[in-house]
Every structure is written in C-alpha cells, then in structure tokens.
Amino acid sequence: MRDSVLLPEYNVLCHAHPPTKERRTLGTTPSSNLGKLVNRVPEVTLVFWILKILATTVGETAADVLSTTFKLGTVVTSYVMAVFLLISLVFQLRARRYVPPIYWIVVVFISVVGTLISDNLVDNLGVPLSTTSLIFTVALVAVFIVWYWSERTLSVHTIYTVGRELFYWAAILFTFSLGTSAGDLLSERLGLGYPLSALMFAAAIAVIYLAYRVKIVNEVLAFWLAYILTRPLGASVGDLLTQEKSAGGLGLGTIPISVVCLLGIVVGVIHLSRDERKKALGS
C-alpha cells in the first residue's frame, strides 16, 4: 500500500481489533472479519488531495457558470445540483466498495451544492458571512460529535458501513459550505485578495502537515482540518483564475477553468481506477 499524505496506513491495532459493533453485526470472529471489511472511500494520498482541490475549484467555478453564465440563478441551480448529488450518492451508497468514478462524481456535486448553500444564505437571504461561517462550524462539530458518539471513531480509514459513510458525507458537505463562507469572509470582506488568500490557506495546510509529522496533532484532526482548508484554497485559486482583472483576478473565465479542472479530475480518476483494478487482480 502506498504511503499516504497527512494520514498513514491503517493502524495495526485497528486492524487487529475491529470495532465491537462490526464484530457483532457480522457475527464472526475478528480474524475472519478482517478479509471482509472493505473501506468505501479512498486512501488519502497526494493524488487524493490534488483531486480534492480540483473538485473544490470546480465547485466554485461551476456554480458561477450555471447560476450566472447560463442565467439559471442560485436557487434553480441549487435544486438541479441537489438532485444530481442525491442520484450520485445513491450509486455511491449502493456500491460495495470504493469505485473511483462514482466517488469523485459525488465529491464534485457535493462541492457545488456546498458552495451554493453558502451563496444562497449570503446572497439571497442576506445572512452575513461571519454568521454563516459560525453556523457551518457548529453544524460540522455537531456531525462529528454524533458520529463519534455512534461509532467511537472519526477515521476515514474505517468507513466500512453505510451508517459511517453517511456521517462521512454529511461532514464533507459542511466542510465545503464552511470553507466557502470562511474563504469569502477572508478574501472579500477582509480585503486580503485572492492571491494572498490562496497563499495563506496553503501555508495553513503546510503548518497542519508539519504539526502532524511532529505528532502535535493526531491523524484524524489533521485530515479534517486540511480537508476544510482545501475548500477556501481551491476557491481562492478558482477566483484568482476566473475573476476579472479589475476585481483582482486573471480574467480567464469560468467555463475554460471549469473544463480544465474537470479534465484534470478525469485523468486522476482514470489513474486511480487503474490502481484499483491492479489491487483487485493482485488480491
């Protein structure tokens, strides 16, 4: 198994002693369970983080394309994307294992929906960015509390059941919404600008990685902090590339950047799919 970024490979103790709930559900011995437990989400590698940032950038640019360029409006775009998200999520939950194309389609749609939730609250309902940031922070913490209370773990290495996966996707949705609000608050309301905001979020992720490497923070906290911060990082990069020069961007346009990011995701997913096939043939 390849080395992971921010998160190491499965903890040996976790493998040796699967959670009590899983042993009880399967009704077999721990040793026989080990071969049956299949993680439903990907390993956390460098490719994972690259695809996550690309999906985040698409979430920012695609929302602008649909709501502004195609003149669907934020509300209609939200409904359309929510339907696509639910459909893709059904396929993901029905899959018995991690399937890269299905998984990353869900991530792209959840990125768009998470962005639109924040935009609707701010643009249509007039909720301040500081308030939406607080709301999404509380919602995310609530998901983590209920998840841990129910499963006694927040690790993405042990998403073996549909229940755990639902907690996982709920947390991811709120990380996207929180990242959108917090990123907009810093880059727009506080006047930091897109380049400085991108550098700041990249530096924060680097600090988290360093803190993880020197064991100041554990793997679970490091992962979720980095996952939250990659949202405003990707959004800042997306805004820098697409916004008009008068607004501090490069003016490359939302459609070209969306297409480039989607092509990058396709290439990454093809690579991951080949890896998964090799693993299946070798098992």
CA distance 69 to 65: 5
User: In this structure, what token pair is assigned to residue 229?
Assistant: 């911060």
pLDDT at 11: 40
pLDDT at 9: 37
What ranges do the domains of the chain cover? 38-172+189-277
What sign for the dihedral angle of Cα 57, 60, 65, 69?
negative
User: In this structure, what token pair is assigned to residue 110?
Assistant: 């959840």
User: In this structure, what token pair is assigned to residue 203?
Assistant: 């530096």
Q: Are 173 and 86 in contact (CB under 8 A)?
A: no
| Amino acid code (one letter) for 94 | R
| Amino acid code (one letter) for 84 | F
pLDDT at 283: 58
Place of tokens 């985040």: 56
User: In this structure, what token pair is assigned to residue 101?
Assistant: 């194309």
pLDDT tens, the chain, 283 aa long: 444 444 433 343 343 344 444 433 333 333 334 335 789 999 999 999 999 999 988 887 888 788 887 888 889 999 999 999 999 999 999 998 899 999 999 999 999 999 899 989 998 999 999 999 999 999 999 999 999 999 999 999 999 999 999 999 999 999 999 988 888 887 776 777 788 888 999 999 999 999 999 999 999 999 999 999 998 898 888 888 888 888 778 989 888 998 999 999 999 999 999 988 888 777 5
Q: Are 112 and 72 in contact (CB under 8 A)?
A: no
User: In this structure, what token pair is assigned to residue 44?
Assistant: 């956390």
Q: Are 241 and 249 in contact (CB under 8 A)?
A: yes
Maximum pairwise Cα distance, the chain? 65
Return the C-alpha torsion angle 73, 76, 77, 79, nearest 10: 160
Q: Are 122 and 129 in contact (CB under 8 A)?
A: yes
Q: Is 41 helix (H, G, I), strand (E, B) or coil?
A: coil
| Amino acid code (one letter) for 166 | L
C-alpha dist (Å) from residue 259 to 59, 65, 133, 254 = 12, 11, 29, 9
Q: Which of 187, 186, 188, 178 is nearest to 225 (CA)?
A: 178
pTM score, whole prediction: 0.83
Q: Is 253 helix (H, G, I), strand (E, B) or coil?
A: coil
